[in-house]
Structure 1
Amino acid sequence: MKKNTDLGLLILRIIVAGLMLFHGFAKLGHIDGIKNMLSSNGLPEFMAYGVYITEIIAPIFIIIGYRTRLASLAFFLGMLFIIFLAHANDIFSISDKGALKNELIYFYTFGSVALFFTGGGKYAISLKNIWD
């Protein structure tokens, strides 16, 4: 079978970013809990709007393949923020099923790392910039 790395990258982009969009759309207009979490940790509430960059804007850019590496970097940084702010107490916790409790979060985080290093592939709308 012939290898098609670009098709694999397209599938990775659609799955990692597409699944994250559900989280972002669910938060549209509902970020009071995030604001409270930030303020209780001594951070300004306006940072809660960063969730829209991490969970909506960056994933859309990743899916369409526009500045994929830059969008993946923004996505990754947002995921780190989520891990250390919302899940600091259970970073390596094991669920009752024997898996990492936060494995989905790690899938998103390291999927974005993979896309940062590979770029979007040839099935992207932007191909010639250093951030593609």
Structure 2
Amino acid sequence: MIAKLNSIFSSVTHHPDGGRLLLRILVAGLMIFHGVAKVSHGIDWIAADLAAKGIPSFVAYGVYIGEILAPAMVILGILTVPAAFIILINMIVAMLMVGAFGHMTEVTKVGAWALETDAFYVLGCVAIMMLGTGKYSVAPAAYR
């Protein structure tokens, strides 16, 4: 009975390429919101933070690559693995800039891990890099 039930659910839900697409849309689509905020409100504060840490302020423009260009590429399935890696690096730099790694053991008032959003993006990018694009992509197979 359990095997039959599992077989029924598996036949309905087993769509690895659809799962890859859903993961790509979720991780990269949510990241684009961060990029849109940077376009709307500017990146001067990021440039100032970088300069205060001795990093050239022009590096702040990389946020547009990591939060708009690379996520768009991931969603479309164009050079998905390198684009996911760029988002991953963008997240690690952002976490270093705000000192997130100092909050590894903290829990919020509602019981959530303080770094769960960061972990979502980091591990989501790692999963995309491990799984690849799948068949749903606007790019030819050589560019996925």
> Please, what TM-score do these two structures have when normalized by structure 1?
0.91
1:10 aligned onto 2:29: no
1:107 aligned onto 2:138: no
**What is the match of residue 27 of structure 1?**
38
Q: Which runs of 4+ in 1 moved over 4 A?
A: none
Separation of aligned partners in 1, 2:77 and 2:115:
27
Q: Per-residue displacement from partner, 1:67-107 (whole Å, max 9, x unpaired)?
A: 10010111111111111112343344221112111211210
Give the root-mean-square deviation of aligned CA atoms.
Answer: 1.5
- The match for 1:59 among 61, 64, 71 is 71
Identity of aligned residues (%): 38
**What is the match of residue 4 of structure 2?**
none
Secondary structure in 2 matching 1:124: coil
Secondary structure in 1 matching 2:141: coil
Structure 2: gaps spanning 5 or more residues? 1-9
Q: Per-residue displacement from partner, 1:40-63 (whole Å, max 9, x unpaired)?
A: 111110010111111100100000
Secondary structure in 2 matching 1:42: coil
1:70 aligned onto 2:82: yes
Separation of aligned partners in 1, 2:102 and 2:27:
24
Secondary structure in 2 matching 1:125: coil
1:116 aligned onto 2:140: no
Structure 1: gaps spanning 5 or more residues? none
By how many angstroms is 1:127 displaced?
Answer: 4.9
Higher helix content, 1 or 2: 2
> Please, what TM-score do these two structures have when normalized by structure 2?
0.84
